[in-house]
Amino acid sequence: MVIVTIIFLSLGALLYIYYNQSGIIPVNDLGKVMSDKVFPNLALNHLGVFAGLVFIIRFNRGHFLECG
């Protein structure tokens, strides 16, 4: 389980590194990073239609399984 956690933390860190290099970090009016919007913004606005659809499907699937 620890290995899986490290993998997901590493993927999150790589995502923020990509955002910093691309200059597409979503910030609010106060200049703070909106961390809840990082992955959805990337999936829906910068990776294309297929990635956006996969994100929406996986997001909804997770909610249905949680409510289940």
pLDDT, position 60: 76
pLDDT at 10 > cutoff 80: yes
Count Cβ atoms below 10 Å from residue 14 Cβ, excluding itself: 10
pLDDT at 63 > cutoff 70: no
Percentage of residues in the chain having pLDDT higher than 70: 87
Tens of pLDDT, residues 23-56: 777 777 787 777 777 777 777 787 788 888 887 8
Helix axis angle for 49-67 and 38-45, nearest 10°, is 140
| Domain locations in the chain as residue ranges | 2-67
pLDDT, position 5: 87
Q: What is the pTM of this model?
A: 0.53
